[in-house]
Amino acid sequence: MPTVFDIPPIEVQDELILLRKDLDEKIPHKEFDNNLLIASWNIRAFGNLTRKWKSGDKDSPKRDLHALLCIAEIIRRFDVIAIQEVKANIRALRDTLKILGNDWSMILTDVNRGDAGNGERMAYIFDTRRVKLSGLACELVVPNEWSDKINQISLEEQFVRSPYAVSFRTNNQTFILVTLHILYGDSANDRIDELKGIAEWLADWATNINAYHQNLIALGDFNIDKRGDLLNETFLSTGLFVPPELQNEEVTRSIFDETKYYDQIAWFNGLDGKPKLSLKFLRGGNYDFMEKVLTNRDITKRRFSFLISDHYPLWAEFKL
């Protein structure tokens, strides 16, 4: 049985060369002590792995070593990346760390229990040459006293998948990433309470001078259906800011439907009494991998999504 340490078949090697070239053209390069590259990626059902170079029709899961090498090559381009849909079985995640090498590390939550939690974890993968953990790791829990602010949310109805906050430090600057994966539910209304709860939580944190730090960046799968809909307006109502570059219609989120607006990267921008992020935003976008990976396979888009993902990674570059 092959492993990630084996030499890939020649066609996989050739594809990786082309993938690296495309990434070089579309993702900013890491510049020592000058920039910071943060990303978010919902990697569909990122759990177990079939240790073959090419999985077959009867193999489960479909994700194989070829697909994992492509995923790792994309992750490698960022300093820290928040991953959603990490499953209880973390074989693929562990093998990704092996591919990336000893300079990379991860931190993740335990599994979200209950049917709605879908057996998922939240995770961060980061390049230790560029960023370090700075001490804080926590899950967001809504205070019971906020039930009058946020409709039904209380200690009796917590977030389905608890948002996960971790602090990092780079070039003498501390920042806190808060990753989330909002409940999809049966309709848009099912998502409003969670988005309200998280927005209120972050606003309260940002204005608390005794908090660990006020440099907050929220990122993840917000399950916002389309640009400018009620969920988007609800989430931004407390002063969170999404840069215009990430609201551009060309920055698509889903491989199935370019109108979807699921994934976001947002922060406070110094308005309405909220602190301004000390990191200066330079640019951002997605990475469209559809025509760059698994190009020698005749497969449906659905099967492709279980090999790579149904979401594109979303990224932002900041000046230090």
Q: What is the phi/psi pair of residue 18, to 5°?
A: -70, -35
Q: Does the predicted TM-score (pTM) go above 0.75?
A: yes
The tens digit of pLDDT for each residue in 267-297 reads 999 888 888 899 999 999 999 999 999 999 9
Whole-angstrom Cα distance, residue 110 to residue 123?
9
User: Is 71 a member of any domain?
Assistant: yes
**In whole angstroms, how far apart are CA 198 and each of 56, 63, 234?**
41, 32, 10
Average pLDDT, the chain: 90
Q: State the pLDDT at residue 153.
A: 45
**The CA-based dihedral angle spanning residues 45, 48, 54, 58, taken in that order and rounded to the nearest 10 degrees:** -90
Decide if 1 is inside a domain: no
Q: What percent of the chain has pLDDT over 70?
A: 91
| Residue 5 in domain | no
Residue 70 lies in a domain: yes
Instruction: State the pLDDT at residue 264.
Output: 95
Q: Which range has the worst mean pLDDT, 2-16, 30-44, 115-129, 169-183?
A: 115-129
- Inform me whether the pLDDT recorded for 152 exceeds 50: no
Greater pLDDT, 147 or 312: 312
Query: Is 64 within a domain?
Result: yes
Stronger pLDDT, 68 or 150, i.e. the higher one: 68
Domain hosting residue 54, numbered range: 10-319
Residue 225 phi/psi, 5-degree rounding, is -70, -45
The answer, yes or no, to whether residue 249 has pLDDT greater than 80, is yes
> Which structure tokens are listed for 144?
């019971």
Q: Is residue 228 part of a domain?
A: yes
Tens-place pLDDT, residues 56-110: 999 999 999 999 999 999 999 999 999 999 999 999 999 999 999 999 999 999 8
Statement: residue 175 has pLDDT above 90: yes
Domain count, the chain: 1
C-alpha span between 317 and 283 (Å, rounded) = 5
Give SS3 for 138: strand
Residue 167 has pLDDT above 90, yes or no: yes
pLDDT of residue 217: 96
Contact partners, residue 87, CB within 8 Å, separation at least 6 = 45, 46, 47, 48, 111, 119, 120, 121
**Which residues lie closer than 8 Å to 156 by C-beta, 6 or more apart?**
none
Distance CA 59, CA 50 (A): 7
Q: Is residue 2 a part of any domain in this protein?
A: no
Position with higher pLDDT, 300 vs 233: 300
Average pLDDT over residues 254-258: 95
Average pLDDT for 32-59: 96
**Could you tell me the strand order of the sheet in which 173-181 lies?**
132-139, 164-170, 173-181, 216-221, 263-268, 240-241
Is 4 contained in some domain?
no
Q: CATH number, domain at 300? A: 3.60.10.10
Task: Find the helix or strand (DSSP H, E) in which 306 lies.
Answer: helix 301-307
Tokens at 133, concatenated: 């953990």
CA dihedral 208, 196, 262, 186 (to 10 degrees): 150
Task: Check residue 16 and give its pLDDT.
Answer: 98
